[in-house]
Amino acid sequence: MANSNLPRRIIKETQRLLSEPAPGISASPSEDNMRYFNVMILGPTQSPYEGLGSWRSPSTSSCGVVETGGVFKLELFLPEEYPMAAPKVRFLTKIYHPNIDKLGRICLDILKDKWSPALQIRTVLLSIQALLSAPNPDDPLSENIAKHWKTKEAEAVETAKEWTRLYASGA
Amino acid sequence: MGLSWSNSRRRTTTFYHPHPPPPPPLPPYYYHPGEAVSLLPRHRIKITTPPYNNHQQPPHHHHNLTLILHTLHLQPNVGFTSALPIQLDPAPFVDHQNAKRIRNDVNVHKDTLKVEIDVSNPDHFLVSFVFDALFHGSITIFYFAKEEPDGRFVPAFPEAHLPVKISFQKGLGQRFCQPSGTGMDLGFFELDDLSKSSPEEDVFPLVIVAETNLPDDLTDEHFDSMPNTLRHRQITQAVFEKKNGDNFNVRVIRQILWVAGVRYELREIYGIGSSAAEGFDDSDPGKECVICMTEPKDTAVLPCRHMCMCSECANELRLQSNKCPICRQPIEQLIGIKINSGDQRG
């Protein structure tokens, strides 16, 4: 297994992700491939992707979050060249967003030409979380969703909320 | 201040310069002696321009940090050079070049610079700051002073204020306070004039010249090889700003260093404050190379001056994107910077 000669950077990043997770983000490596991470991102508040239930109440346990929605699953893979090359990240949860296509691929510059080896798994996931707060229909990956967003934004946001309810329930 | 530049320059060229051919495009470095002692995690190393000095001086003070610099060669990589003709230009320096250090005998801590009202002389403002000096010397305060091509400063309005020169004894972390009665009535000037330099950047509202006397402590071993004409001068050029009310703020625009007749402009290296100056335990995210997150960072990128990598990753990056990991500017040069405290050096 390639895990035996895992670069020290990946081990450290993993340890830090587990010991000090970023708010609303969890990432844990797969047992049989330490370069493959199961990721969960909570939809940011004030966005169409936020959880819709009682999870924001301080008295609610984190289990409540998972049951009420706004939880997006992603997969993240660190290629052999990482960190000289960007991680490969994809949404597994269906999401209605102009910069994310139906296969879950993400249009985000830091995952492409703006990648820098100073970025990390944590910063990549925070950027994706930020992308949920700030959809950019001017640089679309899903033409139809982008068009919808630009012509009837309120309606597109409603669809995004509906999809969040339907698919991002965390169940 | 008619220092014998020509003497010292001649001496420097013949004595110190290990490379007879024209100057390598590698900026020399410089650090603050006092900060090195008292503020290990915060000490600064500065890049200086123009880059044509090549000093090698032994550690001058056993408590101080010594700074060893070597360049990581960017040139001799065959595949890469053939792809980029510009790289074929013969490199005047090679891998692991000798250490380059510039010692600064006198240093004004620019972040401590303040002006305050002279209580016994209202309307007038007095300059104060903290400085380090390894030798006795003097500080001269100029208001609206012009830098002459030979490095001297002359007041642009001698009728309004003459330079104030005050001697000091050697010592680190000293506080300088301009004597009461020698201050300047800043209200005399338009705020607009106080808050910027002249368009040519040769007149600044506030200029502080700190210089050492001729070294008198010649028993120190390193002076054996040092001409007596070596007098260090550090010039701090600043403007006055008014934030709220009547308080003026001083903002330093530039610091210049004259060493052995050579003028250097000081630039900070970003990220060096959190480099592994004092031990490295592999668990401090600020000290580690941003790429491998394992080795201490010891390499700065030029021209952007981000110190963020270890030398191995820096060389690797050269072959990959060749962009600074922090700001994505193209890398023109990599500078290895090793910092050890003098008494730990192997």
Q: Quick one: which of A83, A157, A73, A89 has its CA closest to A127?
A: A89
**Residue B10 vs residue B250, higher pLDDT:** B250
Residue from A25, A100, A107, A141 carrying the catalytic annotation: A107
**Residue A164 vs residue B60, higher pLDDT:** A164
Are B152 and B294 found together in one domain? no
Shortest distance between the Cα of B154 and any Cα of chain A, in A, equals 47
- The verdict on a CB contact (< 8 Å) between B328 and A12 is no
Please give the mean pLDDT across all residues of chain B.
68
- The verdict on a CB contact (< 8 Å) between A84 and B317 is yes
Chain B partners within 8 Å of A11 (Cβ): none
Are B300 and B316 found together in one domain? yes
- The verdict on a CB contact (< 8 Å) between A84 and B325 is no
Q: Is A63 a known active-site residue? A: no
- The verdict on a CB contact (< 8 Å) between A114 and B328 is yes
Give the nearest partner residue to A83 out of B291, B323, B328, using CB atoms: B291
Which residue of chain A comes nearest to B306, CA vs CA? A118
Give the nearest partner residue to A8 out of B293, B316, B317, using CB atoms: B293
Q: How many CA atoms lie within 13 A of B71 on its CB side?
A: 21
User: For the segment B62-79, what is each residue's pLDDT rounded down to a tens digit?
Assistant: 222 223 333 333 322 222
Domain ends where: B267, B288, B317?
Answer: B267
Residue A132 parent element (H or E): helix A121-133
Whether B183 and B120 have beta carbons less than 8 Å apart is answered as no
Look at residue B320 and tell me if it is in a domain.
Answer: yes
Shortest distance between the Cα of B12 and any Cα of chain A, in A, equals 41
Domain ends where: B237, B267, B297?
Answer: B267
- With a cut of 80, say whether residue B165 has pLDDT above it: yes
Domain ends where: B267, B287, B314?
Answer: B267
Range of the domain at B178: 106-267
Which CATH number do you get for residue B96? 3.30.40.10
Are B65 and B132 found together in one domain? no
**Residue B173 vs residue B162, higher pLDDT:** B173
Look at residue B326 and tell me if it is in a domain.
Answer: yes
CB atoms within 10 A of CB B97: 19
Chain A partners within 8 Å of B296 (Cβ): none
The DSSP call for residue B72 is E
Look at residue B27 and tell me if it is in a domain.
Answer: no
Which residue of chain A comes nearest to B318, CA vs CA? A84
What does the pLDDT read at residue B22? 40
Is the entire prediction scored with pTM above 0.80? no
- Percent over 70 (pLDDT), chain B: 59
Are B183 and B253 found together in one domain? yes
Chain B partners within 8 Å of A79 (Cβ): none
For residue A9, CA distances in Å to A1, A16, B285 come to 18, 10, 11
Are B199 and B171 found together in one domain? yes
Domain residues of chain A, as ranges? 2-167
Shortest distance between the Cα of A109 and any Cα of chain B, in A, equals 13
What does the pLDDT read at residue B263? 84
Maximum Cα interatomic distance, chain A, rounded to a whole number of Å? 52
Interface of A with B (CB under 8 A): 7-9, 12-13, 16, 83-84, 114, 116-118
Are B122 and B213 found together in one domain? yes
Look at residue B50 and tell me if it is in a domain.
Answer: no
Are B232 and B325 found together in one domain? no
Are B112 and B231 found together in one domain? yes
CA torsion sign, B258 to B261 to B263 to B267? negative
Q: Quick one: which of B117, B27, B96, B29 has its CA closest to B339?
A: B29
Q: Is the ipTM of this complex over 0.85?
A: no
Are B119 and B145 found together in one domain? yes
Count of residues for chain B?
A: 346
Q: How many CA atoms lie within 13 A of A82 on its CB side?
A: 24
Number of domains in chain B: 2
Are B240 and B276 found together in one domain? no
Look at residue B147 and tell me if it is in a domain.
Answer: yes
User: For the segment B119-136, what is each residue's pLDDT rounded down to a tens digit?
Assistant: 888 888 899 999 999 889
Are B132 and B183 found together in one domain? yes
Which residue of chain B comes nearest to A6, CA vs CA? B292
Of the candidate ranges A72-86, A117-131, B318-332, the one whose mean pLDDT is the lowest: B318-332
- With a cut of 50, say whether residue B58 has pLDDT above it: no
CATH annotation of A2-167: 3.10.110.10
- With a cut of 70, say whether residue B13 has pLDDT above it: no
Look at residue B39 and tell me if it is in a domain.
Answer: no
Structure confidence at residue A72 as a pLDDT band (50, 70, 90):
very high
Structure confidence at residue B266 as a pLDDT band (50, 70, 90):
confident
Are B220 and B319 found together in one domain? no
User: For the segment A23-62, what is each residue's pLDDT rounded down to a tens digit?
Assistant: 999 999 999 999 999 999 999 988 999 875 544 445 545 5
